[in-house]
Amino acid sequence: VSREGAKGQEYNAMGGSPTDHVATIPFTRSLSGPFDYTPGVFDIRIKTSPDQVKTTIGKELALYTIIYAPMMMANDLPENYEGHPAFEYIKAVPTDWETTKVIDGKIGDYITIARQERKTDNWFVGAITDENPRGFQLALDFLKEGITYNATIYADGEDCHFVDNPTSYEIKNMEVTSTTTLDMNLAAGGGAAISLYPKN
């Protein structure tokens, strides 16, 4: 059972949480068990309000892997997902994990987590940052040796910014192995999500 116990996504429609809020949760509230945050907002500028959520599409996708919640949901309206290529990650990401590896992180600043889907060799990675853009290298050495994986990377676009252009994103497909290192670039307030499936 998931419980909230800290500010959830709905606070973003009431003035908003700072960008470092979800970069703090994995080190605090989430240590005590599943956390109900309800990520997945794509209507970041909020059509019915002058406010906007302090996030990006890439960050919202990454939160499905960063935040552990066996009862996850997509919190936006169906019409905001219809035909949206980035919705494929939400449809694919599981909620039941075999293995969790915290790759890197600093409380309130950034975190990168890789999780293996239970009873499969499928992996999912989420990386988020606070208001500062970040570049880093992601070694995929947690993958099984000798296997080639199909990776789909959902990342912030080059012109993405959580205030000025929060819905800019890009999707890349490539083949990777456990020896691959990816150059990752997170926009200010942004994030990235990666799905990794063994190649048939």
167 with 43: CB under 8 angstroms?
A: no
The model's confidence at residue 38, banded by pLDDT at 50, 70 and 90, is confident
> pLDDT tens across 62-80, in order?
999 999 988 888 989 999 9
Q: Is residue 94 part of a domain?
A: yes
Q: Would you name the residues annotated as active-site residues?
A: 10
Which whole number is the average pLDDT over 15-26? 89
pLDDT at 1 (0 to 100): 65
Q: Is residue 33 part of a domain?
A: yes
Q: Is residue 39 part of a domain?
A: yes
Statement: residue 51 has pLDDT above 70: yes
Q: What is the CATH number of the domain that holds 193?
A: 3.20.20.70
Domain with 67, as residue range(s), is 9-198
Q: Is residue 3 part of a domain?
A: no
DSSP H helices in 4-154 = 21-24, 57-66, 78-81, 87-92
pTM of the model: 0.94
Q: Is residue 159 part of a domain?
A: yes
User: Number of structural domains, the chain?
Assistant: 1
